[in-house]
Amino acid sequence: MVLVPSIYVDLFFTLLIAFAGDDLTAKDLQGTWKGERYTEGGGGGQGGEVVEFTFKDNLLVGRKKSGVVIGEATFTLSEGGKNIDATGTSGGYRNKTYPGIIKVEGDKLTWCSAGGGGKDMKRPGSFTANPGSAHYLIVLTRQK
């Protein structure tokens, strides 16, 4: 029988509790985020389209750099905050659901979403927007 010093047991449980509370919630997304949106392999060092997203409760509004609204949607998180589904509430996006994956690291939000207008509405498996995938990769920074 191997005895483990209690300090290691305490450390283990402290870390376990800290990481168990890591699930992303809608509350974590609240506010305005700015950055770039890449499509189907876009970028390549050239940068993406400058965008801004504002999250309020379970609603989000996306805007272009000019301030023109790209779209409005409701969103839900699942799988411990790893998946996001945005359902359009206006314009050509109305009643269309865009499945995606999301992560927040400090003030950086990374979101990859299906976005092909019905072309390929499968949830992305990674944070990339490869040519032909019809996915958007959105990388944002929280605004203070």
Q: What is the pLDDT of residues 11-50, one digit of tens each?
A: 333 333 333 346 999 999 999 999 999 887 555 556 789 9
pLDDT at 9 over 70: no
- Whether residue 5 lies inside any domain: the answer is no
pLDDT at 67 over 90: yes
The model's confidence at residue 99, banded by pLDDT at 50, 70 and 90, is very high
Q: Rounded to an integer, what distance in angstroms lies between the CA atom of residue 133 and that of residue 17?
A: 38
- Whether residue 37 lies inside any domain: the answer is yes
Q: Rounded to an integer, what distance in angstroms lies between the CA atom of residue 79 and that of residue 136?
A: 20
- Would you state the pLDDT for residue 41? 57
Q: Rounded to an integer, what distance in angstroms lies between the CA atom of residue 90 and that of residue 32?
A: 20
Check residue 121 and report its DSSP letter: -
- Whether residue 16 lies inside any domain: the answer is no
- Whether residue 4 lies inside any domain: the answer is no
Domain total of the chain = 1
- Whether residue 12 lies inside any domain: the answer is no
CATH number, residue 91: 2.40.128.490
Domain containing 45: what range?
24-142
Beta pairing partners, 142: 33
- Whether residue 95 lies inside any domain: the answer is yes
